[in-house]
Chains A and B, each alone.
Chain A
Amino acid sequence: MKGKIVAVDGSLVVAEMDGRIVQNSVGYCVRSDGTRLLSEVIRVRGQRADLQVFEETRGLRVKDPVEFDEHMLSVVLGPGLLGQIYDGLQNPLPQLASQIGYFLQPGVYINGLATDQSWDFTPTAKTGDTVAAGDTLGTVPEGIFEHRIMAPFTATGNFRIEKLAGEGSYTLDEEIAELVGEDGSTLKVTMQQNWPVKVPLSVARQRLMPVDPLVTRVRIVDSMFPIVRGGTYCIPGPFGAGKTVLQQITAKHAEIDIVVIAACGERAGEVVETLRDFPELIDPRTGRSLMERTIIICNTSAMPVAAREASVYTGATLAEYYRQMGLHVLLLADSTSRWAQAMREISGRLEEIPGEEAFPAYLESRIAAFYERAGAVELRDGRVGTLTIGGTVSPAGGNFEEPVTQGTLKVVGAFLGLSRARSDARRYPSIDPLDSWSKYGGIIETEKMVRVRRLLSHGNNVRQMMTVVGEEGTSLDDFTVALKADFFDNVYLQQNAFDKVDAATTAERQKFVFDKVLEVIDLQLEATEKTKVRQAIVVATDLFRNWNYAASDSDEYKGWLEKIDQFIASKGRT
């Protein structure tokens, strides 16, 4: 279908179209110099289509042509996605850089996957087999994974494999199979396929209850506010509270197969840090570069706003694709507030009736639909794949009572709220141990977790009281509780992201340390006077801190552990 532009307002263009107009289809607005700007239909009124343009609209004129087909905004799926750095529309940024230099020129698009590269295909099905959408036809090695080549997800019904390529090397454009449907229609299959980003991709027998803990190796998360494979969580926090650092260490250390990072409307500098760091970092579990398990979707704050809205969906689709292979995938979206703001901007241009703080009325349902793309699924062949989604939220003024935070809290399974007070006091990660919550079960027994939470909240109450009545006016019991709560905070909840050892604590070590910390908390220190209590806690804090910095099972580690045991034994006697 073709048409002509009738109005331009920021990233919104109105076009008068001939014939059929498909909502959410993509096409191009053609500038008079021939540059084609990718656009999407977001509203249809009569023969007029409102288009959001994924580029700067500078230079467009009334009566400039627009060209659309009926495809929705899609990404290409196939081997070669891992290790890529894409913009929000799946253009590979390194290739763009080598083609057009320092700047991202509007109207230059590159296919998301290189079609000239060959992949070693090994068939796993046989000709004559019956398959349906998502069933595996064969595999190709992609880094450390067996990348499954699957029957097209768009296919409906059963198919018989008429032809299947033998073992060998093929490019993504080459046909590797021909399928014949029950009605006799034939389907030619290559190793790549397209999928519209705004439609969840899930071909599965059933959705499962997510229960397996996802170990992030961040102690306060794993032990206090656990997340699970296939679950969802959010990290709201004011600026400077450490949202991005928390996402980065999760991306580095989480015990998961694949990480998709969707940097959505955030600083370019932070993405550069990830781009430069990750290829150098070695994943201790595989011995390979971290980049081999990572996909980065990068739409920084200065890039056009409509592409920002698309970028989280692009990330979700790529993540879902790897879930279909029975892998465990983690999608980190930083920040979902920027995504919501992009919706607000577009909604404002459409002159829709605004909801709270001018966000569109459908904000909450969009947020819910996005997080619902997470989940653990049992695939058709019985394997289980999971997609976990963690999103940061950047609330205006650091106030959680705003629509994006509230809309997110309704739909996620865990809330890791960052607090300005904690980050100002340099208590990192600055997750608030009193306000945060998780609906999931983790690696620490619930009974112990509840005890510690009670201690922290009691300690906090005492602290507040102490600011009024002073140390002198506080009873010895209360004083001890406050110090013990501080102790737990200092040696367990706080973690140094920049220390080699302390940055990541395995589940096993967490359980062990947690029990040791509990032993200290259970000591009957109340028998003595306040200064002695303080002294004892200072000693214990110092011992545990040093223990945290010692590599597991090193001599140093054993040495500190021995000292801690001696300490506990000596206090136990009194």
Chain B
Amino acid sequence: MRKYYDTIDRIAGNVVTVRAEDVAYDHLATITSTRGDSLAQVIRLEESQVSLQVFAGSQGVSNNDRVRFLHKPMQVPFSENLLGRVFDGSLQPRDGRGPVNGEPLDIGSPVVNPVRRRMPDQMVETGIPMIDIFNSLVESQKLPIFSVAGEPYNELLARVGLQANADIIILGGMGLRHDDYLKFRHAFEEGGVLGRAIMFVHTAADPVVECLLVPDLCLAVGEKFALQGKRVLVLLTDMTAFSDALKEIAIIMEQIPSNRGYPGDLYTQLARRYEKAVDFDEAGSMTVLACVTMPGDDVTHPVPDNTGYITEGQFYLRNGRIEPFGSLSRLKQQVNGKTRDDHRAIMDSCIQLYALCRESREKRDMGFEMSDWDRKLLRFGTMFEDRIMDLSLNLPLFDALDRCWKMLAECFEPAETGIRRAIIEKHWPQSLV
């Protein structure tokens, strides 16, 4: 039976209101217009009026186009064949290959029962010393990269994708520039990880509604792999574009805006996605690393602000580097105590010395005289920036720690580092002393 409805009462923005019966909230429909078929999702029911957000946008939709209801929520076909594939926000293949068949999986699944979560205790090694040593990424962590337009946040995400020790990598692109998408794809192909990666990409040129589904698609697939015991890493960029899409739909639906035009449920909407990050008791895990661009570099903007309250820390990416101050992984204490006995000592000492170096730089810039100690700090600071803060590094954790020791030994006397005697005796590079 192919029952359809063709009394469209209202077309506004990307929302179309049609008169229909027996329609379930949140389920899907297809709308056939001169531009072809598009998926649409029910976002409000009011007596016989059904409001649909149209994935392909409402351009070209007429008031007597046909709407057919599919009587199911948005689903993604789940199978191993998803690996290596690229899709857009309405699940159309973007790589010129055919569709994937598999077990249909509802997106936006129920919440994980907190008593079935484990305490996270496994580190995700990324090969980037600024992350591994100073703010370790932990399995099941949700962590945003706060950045501004123009910073290499997508490059950073791609590097993490390439270097992290995860079984499956899922990239969700929202509002990506087309060349950024190609860069990601190229990087994954070059790096040989495409075979265990899945990409859901919405580019800036695509209809805005498709952007809304990207995180849900990524997380639904990731969650299923995690339940099968896989360690999944989900990379989302850019969550600000996602929030802006939410704002657009909310305003068309005449919802009362709360802060700078964003809907009152922004926190809930973001939390529902980020909270999918999980370490299952007796199964795998899903880690979420997301980019949030801060409009005007303002951390109090509603998107980074709400994000900060949800996530377990944040990385600040400024001037092409991960800021050592302000960046925080709330879960690092769970893992960095059992990597190597000098991990925490190196972490604390290098950051303290680098902070002192910045003070010395300020003094120098203000024209004060430099003491020997200042000069040592300055030397260390430059070395630290070149050898450790560089984001293009790919160093195993232990090598990175050894590199820190070498730097410390080149610049300081053991006692000046503030590291405990026992650790110094064990790790101080002998050849240089």
Residues of A within 8 A of B (CB): 5-10, 32, 56-63, 85, 93-94, 96-97, 101-106, 238-240, 265, 267-269, 271-273, 275-276, 298, 300-303, 305, 338, 341, 344-345, 348, 351, 354, 357-359, 394, 396-399, 424
Q: A6-B47, A58-B24 are in contact. Are A102 and B227 (CB under 8 A)?
A: yes
Q: Of B264, B302, B328, which is in contact with the most chain A CB atoms at under 10 Å from its CB?
A: B264
Distance A251 CA – B275 CA, assembled complex (angstroms): 24
Q: Which 9 pairs between the two chains have the least Cβ-Cβ distance?
A: A397-B300, A301-B271, A302-B275, A358-B258, A58-B26, A239-B308, A8-B45, A8-B25, A103-B110
B99 to chain A, nearest CB (A): 24
Do residues B46 and A357 form an inter-chain contact, with CB atoms below 8 A?
A: no
Q: Which residues of chain A come closer than 8 Å to B27, judged between CB atoms?
A: 58-59
Do residues A345 and B268 form an inter-chain contact, with CB atoms below 8 A?
A: yes
Distance A104 CA – B310 CA, assembled complex (angstroms): 20
Do residues B112 and A268 form an inter-chain contact, with CB atoms below 8 A?
A: yes
B28 to chain A, nearest CB (A): 11
Do residues B268 and A398 form an inter-chain contact, with CB atoms below 8 A?
A: no
B10 to chain A, nearest CB (A): 15
Which of B45, B108, B111, B302 sits near A300, CB closer than 8 Å? B111
Which of A61, A106, A239, A338 sits near B23, CB closer than 8 Å? A61
Q: A276-B119, A357-B258 are in contact. Are A301 and B25 (CB under 8 A)?
A: no
B98 to chain A, nearest CB (A): 30
Flag B325-346 by CB within 8 Å of A: 1 or 0 each. 1101011000000000000000
Q: A344-B258, A345-B268, A358-B256 are in contact. Are A93 and B111 (CB under 8 A)?
A: no
Distance A358 CA – B112 CA, assembled complex (angstroms): 30
Q: Which residues of chain A come closer than 8 Å to B271, judged between CB atoms?
A: 265, 301-302
Do residues B300 and A268 form an inter-chain contact, with CB atoms below 8 A?
A: no
Distance A424 CA – B306 CA, assembled complex (angstroms): 19
Distance A268 CA – B280 CA, assembled complex (angstroms): 12
25 A-B interface contacts by CB (under 8 A): A5-B45, A6-B46, A9-B45, A56-B110, A58-B25, A60-B45, A61-B24, A61-B25, A63-B21, A93-B115, A96-B113, A97-B115, A101-B113, A102-B113, A102-B116, A104-B110, A104-B112, A240-B328, A268-B112, A269-B312, A301-B275, A345-B265, A359-B258, A394-B309, A424-B325
Closest partner residue, chain B, to A239 (CB atom): B308
Do residues B117 and A104 form an inter-chain contact, with CB atoms below 8 A?
A: no
Q: Which residues of chain A come closer than 8 Å to B257, judged between CB atoms?
A: 358
A10 to chain B, nearest CB (A): 8
Do residues A268 and B117 form an inter-chain contact, with CB atoms below 8 A?
A: yes
Q: At the interface, yes or no: B68 with Cβ under 8 Å from chain A? A: no
Distance A116 CA – B257 CA, assembled complex (angstroms): 49
Interface members, chain B 30-51 (any A CB < 8 Å) = 44-48
Distance A105 CA – B106 CA, assembled complex (angstroms): 13
Do residues B45 and A93 form an inter-chain contact, with CB atoms below 8 A?
A: no
Q: Which residues of chain B come closer than 8 Å to A85, judged between CB atoms?
A: 114-115
Do residues B114 and A240 form an inter-chain contact, with CB atoms below 8 A?
A: no
| Additional 15 contacts, C-beta under 8 A, given A344-B258, A345-B264 | A6-B46, A9-B44, A56-B108, A61-B22, A61-B23, A62-B21, A96-B113, A272-B114, A300-B275, A302-B111, A302-B272, A305-B265, A338-B267, A341-B264, A348-B256
Distance A56 CA – B22 CA, assembled complex (angstroms): 18
B200 to chain A, nearest CB (A): 20
Q: Which residues of chain A come closer than 8 Å to B306, judged between CB atoms?
A: 396
Do residues B308 and A57 form an inter-chain contact, with CB atoms below 8 A?
A: no
Do residues B114 and A396 form an inter-chain contact, with CB atoms below 8 A?
A: no
Distance A9 CA – B15 CA, assembled complex (angstroms): 14
Distance A61 CA – B300 CA, assembled complex (angstroms): 39
Q: Which residues of chain A come closer than 8 Å to B267, judged between CB atoms?
A: 265, 301, 338, 341
Closest partner residue, chain A, to B334 (CB atom): A273
Interface members, chain B 367-391 (any A CB < 8 Å) = none
Q: Which residues of chain B come closer than 8 Å to A104, judged between CB atoms?
A: 110-113
Q: A58-B26, A58-B73, A394-B309 are in contact. Are A93 and B114 (CB under 8 A)?
A: yes
Q: At the interface, yes or no: B297 with Cβ under 8 Å from chain A? A: no
Q: Which residues of chain A come closer than 8 Å to B85, judged between CB atoms?
A: none
Do residues A59 and B24 form an inter-chain contact, with CB atoms below 8 A?
A: yes
B166 to chain A, nearest CB (A): 19
Do residues A7 and B47 form an inter-chain contact, with CB atoms below 8 A?
A: yes
Do residues B48 and A103 form an inter-chain contact, with CB atoms below 8 A?
A: no
Closest partner residue, chain B, to A395 (CB atom): B305
Q: At the interface, yes or no: B247 with Cβ under 8 Å from chain A? A: no
Q: Which residues of chain A come closer than 8 Å to B299, judged between CB atoms?
A: 397
Q: Which residues of chain B come closer than 8 Å to A399, judged between CB atoms?
A: 300
Flag B272-309 by CB within 8 Å of A: 1 or 0 each. 10011010110100000000000000011010011011
Which of A56, A61, A267, A303 sits near B310, CB closer than 8 Å? A267
Distance A357 CA – B21 CA, assembled complex (angstroms): 37
Distance A58 CA – B27 CA, assembled complex (angstroms): 7
B278 to chain A, nearest CB (A): 8
Distance A106 CA – B25 CA, assembled complex (angstroms): 15
B224 to chain A, nearest CB (A): 11
Q: Which residues of chain B come closer than 8 Å to A341, judged between CB atoms?
A: 264-265, 267-268
Q: At the interface, yes or no: B109 with Cβ under 8 Å from chain A? A: yes
Do residues A62 and B23 form an inter-chain contact, with CB atoms below 8 A?
A: yes
Do residues B264 and A62 form an inter-chain contact, with CB atoms below 8 A?
A: no
